[in-house]
Every structure is written in structure tokens, then in C-alpha cells.
Structure 1
């Protein structure tokens, strides 16, 4: 299957990055509701930056990390999107779920400091999508 290129003003691109965020101290705080809220916030951030969130899933067994597959616009940096996503989701999740998170975090934390970003070139996008979809499945 041929990869499709997105058209922009002066370029045609296929820039897909697999990103992983890990919770601070790897505390098992991700549940279905928080996963849903994080994904919705990330979709909105992507749309505002001409990017597209192709796939997203938290590991609901370990409950400590989430995978995102993002199709980037050529003029948007990975670090800018990641910083925005981590800042917005951390602030909103801590505000909305303060009581739930209180036993885990005594300071305004949610995400671990760093992140993982891997270009989609090493494996087919379908393989990456299947990997993300399988997160949290015990098989």
C-alpha cells in the first residue's frame, strides 16, 4: 500500500511520528475516562496545528503510558506539539481529577519529564497502528 502525501502550500509530506508519554513516577493513574479526555485534548491541539491524530491508546493494564501516532505538518516541530500536549493535558487532568490523583501526586505533576518520539519509517504505519491498538490487552 502506497503512503499518501498531504499537500501544503509549497510541499507534499508524510511525516508520521509515534509518541509515548509516561506518567510521573510511572504511577498507574490512567483509566478509560482519563484516556478519553487526553485523546480528545490531543485531537484538538493537533487540529489547531494542522496535524492529525491518527491513533491513540493508553496502556490500561499498566495504566502508566499512552501512545499517540501523529501526522505532522512540515512546519510544526515535534517538541512544540509535545510540549503543548503535555502542558494542556497535565493541567486539565489534574484539575478535573484532583481527588483521584491526590494519593499519587502531592505536587502539580502528571507526566514524566521526557517523551519518546519515533518516526514511522522503520515499520509500516499499519503495524504501528496495530501495536498502539493492542496496548493494554493482556494477550
Structure 2
């Protein structure tokens, strides 16, 4: 067992779950400035806290990448919907000129997203571990 400090515990479980999320702007427009990304980091951190999750890493250029440590009770789709919805609303509310000039129609994000589970051991290591377990005779 690892002695990593990222291991968290709930009422009935111990977990270490990370997800890599990628959000793409509507029409794949490059609209982000350092100021917008700084504002977005604060919004994402706040939304993650509402889900008892933690924003571990965040950065972006034309699209935005997040690494989130989240509890098993949180559906990734619910987390994504909240992250995208709240960030779109809050960033548009601040009236950044690059967004107002480039995007229209009330949408910051494309409706699609990428999600990938990450962390822990690679699949082949877990498969090998399970194969090596002794089946009772």
C-alpha cells in the first residue's frame, strides 16, 4: 500500500481517484488570456470544493485541462456539468472583451468534453496482480 498523502477517506471507503478533464471552447476559438485563466482557476477551485473534490492542476491555451481529485460518490458527469456551467456563467459575467468579441450566443464551452481516469497503477500491473491471486481449491 502506498503512503501517499493524497489518499483520502470517506465514511466507508478509502480512495485516491483522479480524473483528467479537457474542455474546449465553443467554435474552438482561442479566447483565453492570463487574466481569464486566473479567474477560471478560482471558479474551478470553488466548484470542486462544493463537490468535496480538489483541483490539483489547471492550465489552458485554446482548451482547458484540469486534474481533479474527487470522491467516489461524485459522478464525473455531474462534476463536469457544474464546472462548465458555473465557469461559463461567471466568466461571461466579468465581461472580458476577448470573449465578448469572439464568442456569441451565450455559450463559452463546446457541449463535448474529454475525461480520462488517471492515477494508481497501470492496468497491466493491476491485471497481473489479480491473475496472481490464489484461487481456493
- The TM-score by the shorter chain falls in which range? 0.7 to 0.9
The equivalent residue for 2:65 is: 67
Say which of 1, 6, 19 aligns to 2:21: 19
Distance 1:73 1:94, change over 3 A: same
TM-score after normalising by structure 1: 0.79
| Structure with the greater alpha carbon radius of gyration | 2
Equivalent residues, number:
120
CA distance in 2, matches of 1:43, 1:123: 26
Q: Secondary structure at the match of 2:69?
A: strand
TM-score after normalising by structure 2: 0.80
Say which of 98, 113, 116 aligns to 1:115: 113
Alignment of 1:80-91 (within 5 A): 80-91=78-89
The equivalent residue for 1:92 is: 90
Q: Kindly report the root-mean-square deviation, in angstroms, between the aligned alpha carbons of the 2 structures.
A: 2.0
Q: Secondary structure at the match of 1:113?
A: strand
**Offset, 1:102:** 2.6
Ranges in structure 2 where 5+ consecutive residues have no aligned partner: 123-137
CA distance in 2, matches of 1:122, 1:107: 41
